[in-house]
Amino acid sequence: MDGILILDKPSGKTSQKMVQEVKRILGARKVGHTGTLDPLATGVLPICINEATKLAQFLSQDDKEYQATMLLGVKTETMDTEGRITDRREPEVDEGLIREALHFFTGTITQEPPRYSAIKFKGKPLYSWARKGIDITPSPRTVTVYSSTLEDIALPYVTFRVACSKGTYIRSLCADLGERLGCGACLAALRRIRSGYFHLDSAVALDNIPDKERKKTLLTRMIPLSGGLQQMTSIEIDEELAGKIREGRRPDESSLQYYHIPSLADGDMVKFLTTGGGLVAVAKISCGADHLTTDNIEQPMVKILRVFHDNP
């Protein structure tokens, strides 16, 4: 039982709580998630089961897309409506000003993560320091907002859709938008509608499934390991080479010369699959085709990053 589940996380539950529920329902040995959602947030939460937990390092790098609603005129210590209000003022804005602010924070930007977040400081998440009254200023980070689209204005609420890089805090974005508009703002609602190639329309809402049907439904909706790496180029290999890779052998040009190898450059990521579709390994090209020579066919061609024992 190895694979990926896409859950539609409800509001009020932590991402870790969803992991625990899936682990209990399936009786799985190892379960983890990629891309934490705050308790307030809902939407796409990829859950990795057993062997698929090795994929977390690759899935966590994916871009995200959200639908966010911010409350103008209210600032809180947590940058969302669940925190203590620190300032309140009447928003004096119009559609033009809101669109300008969204445009201003599109592209590569620098933002300060919330003090109430899971970012670690001296081994502990920032929220644990904040709850003790210790104010830790997190280091600014550079993120990319690919697009921000205004969807609705019902003052003091504004709803917009944002596509962004990993590590982008929508709470921080709302706070920055509020400062730009001169009235302050905080996040009122957040729904993740996409994480990499995983979309909301393929997500499972556990709360909508009767208890006795949950296990069967989750097993039916489980995505195979290779389906979590749709963006990676595939190289199909036979069982003999798959066994060698799983034993720790690093493929060189001589062992790969009989396979169709797409045109790849140094640093490109690839996945090795068996003819049956089982995921064998994720690797990085260390010697592109343009650097190979017939005089050195034993030159290592790839660096194995992760090996999988996947039997679909």
Here the tokens at position 253 are: 């040009």
Active-site residue (options: 2, 8, 38, 80): 38
**Residue 38 is a catalytic residue:** yes
Domain boundaries, the chain: 3-62+197-227, 65-192, 232-307
Fold of 65-192: Pseudouridine synthase (3.30.2350)
Give the model confidence (pLDDT) of 186-228 as tens digits: 999 999 999 998 999 999 999 899 999 999 999 999 999 988 8
- C-alpha span between 50 and 256 (Å, rounded): 29
Give per-residue pLDDT as tens, 85-97.
Answer: 999 999 999 999 9
pLDDT tens-digit series, residues 248-289: 888 776 767 666 666 777 788 889 999 888 999 999 887 655
The predicted-structure confidence for 52-80, as pLDDT tens digits, reads as follows 999 988 887 789 999 999 999 999 989 99
Mean pLDDT over 177-181 rounds to 97
**Nearest CA to 180 among 91, 69, 296, 116?**
91
Q: Which residues contact 295 (CB under 8 A, 6 or more apart)?
A: none
* Maximum Cα interatomic distance, the chain, rounded to a whole number of Å: 74
Quote the CA–CA distance of 251 and 288 in Å, as a whole number. Answer: 13
The CATH fold of domain 3-62+197-227: Pseudouridine synthase (3.30.2350)
Fold agreement (65-192, 232-307): no
Q: pLDDT-based confidence at 35, cuts 50/70/90? A: confident
pLDDT at 119: 65
| CATH class of domain segment(s) 232-307 | mainly beta
For residue 6, pLDDT beyond 60:
yes
Higher pLDDT, 120 or 168: 168
Q: Which pLDDT score is estimated for 292?
A: 45
- The two beta strands, 42-49 and 185-195, are parallel
What is the structure's pLDDT at 161?
98
Residue 90: the pLDDT is 95
**What is the CB neighbour count within 10 angstroms for residue 224?**
15
| Structure confidence at residue 293 (pLDDT) | 45
- Burial class of 102 by CB neighbour count within 10 A (0 to 12, 13 to 18, 19+): buried
Residue 254: other Cβ atoms inside 10 A: 12
